[in-house]
A and B are shown apart, each in its own frame.
Chain A
Amino acid sequence: MSRRLTARSISRRTLLAGTAAGATIALTRFPTPAIAQAAPFKLGLLTVKTGPLAQGGIQMEQGVLTYLKEKNYTMGGRKVDFVSADTGGNPAGAKTKAQELVERDKVDVILGPLAAFELYAINGYIQQQKMPTLSLAAADNLTQRQPNPYLLRASATSSQAMQPMGHYAATELKLKRVVTIVEDFAFGYEQMGGFQAAFQKDGGCVVNKLWPPIVTPDYTPYIAQISGCDGVCQGFAGSNPLRFMKQYATAGLKYPVVTGETGADDALLKSYGDEAIGLVSACPYTLDLDSDGNNRFVSEMLKNYNTVPGFYAAGLYINCEVVDAGLQGAGGDASDKQKFMAALKAVSLTDTPRGPIKFDHLNNVIGNIYIRRIGREGAKYGLKLWNKTIKTYENVSQFWVWPEQEFLAHPVYSRDYPPLTKC
């Protein structure tokens, strides 16, 4: 289901010409910029356009297309040939489509995929193919204990926003005892691990951790287990947060709720009702950010798709900014993967929709994390609810406040780490 959006015939022809003139392959070892710049730069996207994850996946593609439109389909001085592939939101699909992008479409860089288990599925392959990949997915360890030199993450690790959330919950919301609840999969474990570690560091205590299956039409049996606490941390993704917040309110619970980037994504605001008022979230992107970079992005999204962007669209738009800047840094030449990767890593931007970003030596982003609270005040773009920024943590790294070595000495956040302790 991969789809070419521009220059289908050109890409075919280049491909044919490339294979016919097999001798020139030897020449590409010593690329001359003139040749490299003549061919279009090939941008591949792994996204999800069917099934339950499609909402985020469609936003991802809209983020890319918004950037390309704005730049008139050029990056680093070269024409861009964009190929979008639908993985169907599963690991096998991600692997197949990654292979298609690399071997058939010969892309220069891959954006995506969406989900952590998809990234884990293609990680070995992109490393072996030396394919620069700018992931949205947040599989912590791939920029930590098992770094992949060809993976660059401009979004966030799963725990990157949850760690400041833990700090905020303990120090500003003054929560003491929290029950966590999130889907039973890697993204959930890593989010709650980060929350627990940071929350307990600042004196809080996680009293119970609940893990409903990804498919849970009715959360009430889990909500019934929430007790003995003064706050709840949920980390649901996709359409699940909507259902959870509603059933939570219906069960008559009143403890304050905090969440990460997916639980109160700005793209969900139009679907949420009053039950979400008061929900506090930590997110690397906020619609509320009043900066030139963000205002331009939001108005383009509204113009192109008449939709309010959330983290998924912003994440991919920012990935495009990084690729553009990296390609410029490499003089428009992406043929030497190592050099191109080094140029991408060196990118430092000051005015992306999420504010300034740069990368650490393990290829993960350092950027702001915004703490927001849902309310009616300040709502724009026809929305009834609004995520109002109440605090900004600047230049947050994946290691939060811990020194890198101390952080990496612990096992990766999981279902059992940090363990539940009596407190």
Chain B
Amino acid sequence: MTFWLLLTVNSVTFGGLLFLLSAGFSLIFGLMRIPNLTHGSMFMVGAYLGSTFLGGALGFTLDFWAAAIISALEVAVLGALMERLLLRRLAGQQLAQVLVTLGVSFMVADLCLMGWGGDPISVSTPAGLGGFVRVGLAVFPLYRMAVIGIAVVFAIALWLMLERTRLGAMIRAGVDDPQMARVVGIRVSRLFTIVFGLGAGLAGFAGMIGAPILSVYPGLDQDMLPLALVVVILGGTGSLLGSFLGSIVVGFIYNFGQALLPELAYFVLFLPMVLVLVLRPQGLFGGRLL
């Protein structure tokens, strides 16, 4: 019983973290059709920057949440710069975009290794969330519960942004028909920069939120990127609801697959992705932005 409860709680938590990671990926792909393979790097850079701020790199020690937000903003700026300077020139050339983003991800990995060294960095859980609640036999780690809460808050905030704001309306228009959006006077190119920055910032934020669970180490980017890809393919690109449900589904598959069929852990994780690609390429919830 404890076993099932622990796995269920963990599946939802991991799903929450995956949502924070993959929502940005999904938005970027949905609007710009760029398969951004630096997404894992953004996650890792966010975690590295955040852990450095925690350690007092700015001359004073930031608390965990402030560090997470500042590192997310910095990663957002990096993302926006990358869109302006590199990807803008490659509009519409998917192969070139894949190669450039892949290349940049390797370069970022090497720079991180140079800057932060190879030693893994352990990030302690924010004050007040270190413990866990015991209900009967079940253990609910507070921080992991908080991650679920954060994911839900972000899901709602993103939904409101897309649904209720002018920016959201422009993004939706851009996703549906970029040419028509241009015709009616939306500056789609500026929209691209904003969305790319937003997506990158979300990934950076997720990196810092994930750091107390995953720690920060060279190779974290390559560990997380495939998971984001699976989520987005399962959920459908450009669909917020798809990312959310896809994340939870992958969280469950990942946890229960590894616990029940450890020999087939990867097989179980990637099989649904293959099936969806073959049978329903638009993803389970694809085609709708919400």
Q: Enumerate chain A interface residues (CB-CB to B < 8 A).
A: 50-52, 54-58, 210-213, 215-218, 220-225, 227, 238-239, 242-243, 246-247, 250-252, 267-268, 270-273
Contacts and interface: CB of A to CB of B under 8 A. Distances in A.
B258 A221 contact: yes
19 contacts: A51-B109, A51-B218, A51-B219, A211-B262, A213-B266, A217-B220, A217-B224, A218-B254, A221-B7, A221-B254, A221-B255, A221-B258, A239-B215, A239-B217, A242-B120, A246-B122, A250-B143, A271-B121, A271-B122
Given A52-B217, A224-B259, A250-B144, A218 B122 contact: no
A187 B124 CA distance: 29
B132 A242 contact: no
Nearest to A213: B265
Nearest to A52: B219
A55 B213 CA distance: 20
Overall SS of chain B's interface: helix
Contact of B141 (A213, A243, A251): A251
B223 interface: yes
Interface in B83-124: 109-110, 113, 117-122, 124
A220 B254 CA distance: 11
B285 interface: no
Contacts of B257: 221
Contacts of B144: 250
Given A52-B218, A217-B220, A239-B217, 4 more contacts: A50-B113, A58-B118, A218-B14, A221-B7
Contacts of B122: 242, 246, 271-273
B122 to A, nearest CB: 5
Contact of A218 (B213, B217, B219): B213
B256 interface: yes
Interface of B: 2-3, 6-7, 10, 14, 109-110, 113, 117-122, 124, 132, 134, 139, 141, 143-144, 212-215, 217-220, 222-224, 227, 254-259, 262, 265-266
Contacts of A51: 109, 113, 218-219
Contacts of B213: 218, 246-247, 250
Contacts, number: 115
A222 B289 CA distance: 36
B17 to A, nearest CB: 9
A218 B214 CA distance: 7
A349 to B, nearest CB: 29
Given A212-B262, A217-B223, A227-B3, A251 B139 contact: yes
Contacts of A221: 7, 10, 254-259
Which of A218, A268, A273 has the most B CB atoms < 10 Å from its CB? A218
A210 B262 contact: yes
B118 A54 contact: yes
Given A51-B219, A225-B3, A243-B215, A218 B139 contact: no
A57 B118 CA distance: 9
Given A221-B10, A221-B255, A221-B256, A54 B218 contact: yes
Contacts of B10: 218, 220-221, 224
Contacts of B121: 271
Contacts of A267: 119
A339 to B, nearest CB: 38
A250 B132 contact: yes
A225 B259 contact: yes
Given A217-B214, A217-B224, A251-B139, A55 B118 contact: yes
